[in-house]
Structure 1
């Protein structure tokens, strides 16, 4: 079953560069919903209802809490605000945004579990693997006008509009999520292939889209380097 929303996600994301305005916002929301369905559905089918519920509480609930905190106080990502393009907001946060944390947190954790047997190593890799996704996500969403920072300085070279401190905030939150999620999947399962595919697709498609279709070469390079720390070993381990 997780292959079904994953297939839909691929089709929707292929169409992202071909859209604009409200159509692009709708595509963005659809992608998040499909990614969320793939991750939560996989957790439910392979680890059971309790594990899926824990995943949702930690990553969806935690994602909303940290986003609401960020919008209200500027901690831990810097002072920023969402536009209304992604739909209704709760405490200043579009309802779809917390779902995105779950979408990538679960495949990042399973990828780390597949790559190493070390407990601390898994937490570190999963946290980095989730946080590195933001090297693609924030530049793309800022370019689309979905959120903005009050002061996007200093920024990574070639990636204007997003303060470098934002990525450190992502890393801190992602590490906490990895610690809390680790009991959900203590080891790799025989049916984890859809989540490996989800992580690797996100990596490869993001590099291609940013470099070729979205005119974001800086984030293409930074994202390729950051997310590749987990994606490349995952590809090698999965092939073996």
Structure 2
């Protein structure tokens, strides 16, 4: 029997799956809490999300790649959020609730740039599996980030974590979030994806992508369920489900079509075939 059939995963290689299980557990706890407990769970979700992303990146592509990924995404995210709260560009004029999400830098809670890292990572991986060119991957990542934000911002605004000065020019059903916010997300996520395209060239080929794929599917389908059923946010369930579903449906179709766990696109992740295992 081939060695690949008999090989067992080491504890180190199982670590990303353990982080993902923790992430799912704390996200399930979110609608069951309120007040200070919910704030604590919100921070825990961010830490578990970023932890899952960075642990997987470190295990599968090396610590150097993971650190660089975190610095790029969190660094650009923090810069954009700091400029945004100070000037209103590119997301619109908004403010974070004081003291609810822990310590802040430049009036931005420090967990917020980590949220960018945890949210972008599975979208970046899936976009790499689906897209044949770097330009297409950048565009897909930016669009996927907007889909993720269509879940994130309505949920956090409903919980009072932040609010916009303009509360009546949003999408139908989401008036409290100006529609220009999503243009800002597309711009910032596109910048992040462009920087990551360069960073990809310094790392080994991607492999064992089961965890970020599962993380993506959980974020997409789990958020639709949570918003529609448990959080009373049907509009964000619809908007986020459709927009993030542009990647999600393509991922599912590709899985059914190929019947394998390999990346068969020449430009997928700027590398050759990619296994979906942990």
Please confirm whether the aligned pair reaches a TM-score higher than 0.5, indicating the same fold.
yes
Which has the larger helix fraction?
Answer: 1
Indicate the structure (1 or 2) with the bigger Cα radius of gyration: 2
Q: Give how far 1:188 is off.
A: 6.9
- CA offsets per residue over residues 113-150 of structure 1, 9 Å max, x none? 11122221111111111221000000000000000111
Correspondences of 1:1-240 after superposition (within 5 Å): 1-83=15-97, 84-185=99-200, 189-239=206-256, 240=259
Structure 2: gaps (5+ residues): 1-14, 260-278
Q: What secondary structure does 1:161 align onto?
A: strand
Structure 1: gaps (5+ residues): none
Task: Decide whether the 8 Å contact of 1:139 with 1:219 is kept in 2.
Answer: yes
Task: Decide whether the 8 Å contact of 1:114 with 1:188 is kept in 2.
Answer: no
Task: Decide whether the 8 Å contact of 2:169 with 2:176 is kept in 1.
Answer: no
Mapped to 2, the partners of 1:124 and 1:178 lie a distance apart of: 8
Q: Give how far 1:44 is off.
A: 1.2
Mapped to 2, the partners of 1:151 and 1:128 lie a distance apart of: 23
- TM-score, normalised by the number of residues in structure 2: 0.83
Mapped to 2, the partners of 1:185 and 1:217 lie a distance apart of: 37
Corresponding residue of 2:9: none
Task: Decide whether the 8 Å contact of 1:127 with 1:174 is kept in 2.
Answer: yes
Aligned residues: 240
**Aligned Cα root-mean-square deviation (Å):** 1.4
Mapped to 2, the partners of 1:202 and 1:31 lie a distance apart of: 12
Mapped to 2, the partners of 1:86 and 1:188 lie a distance apart of: 36
Task: Decide whether the 8 Å contact of 1:153 with 1:164 is kept in 2.
Answer: no
Q: What secondary structure does 1:145 align onto?
A: coil
Q: Give how far 1:183 is off.
A: 3.5
Mapped to 2, the partners of 1:190 and 1:210 lie a distance apart of: 32
Mapped to 2, the partners of 1:188 and 1:15 lie a distance apart of: 36
Between 1:32-41 and 1:147-156, the stretch displaced more is 147-156
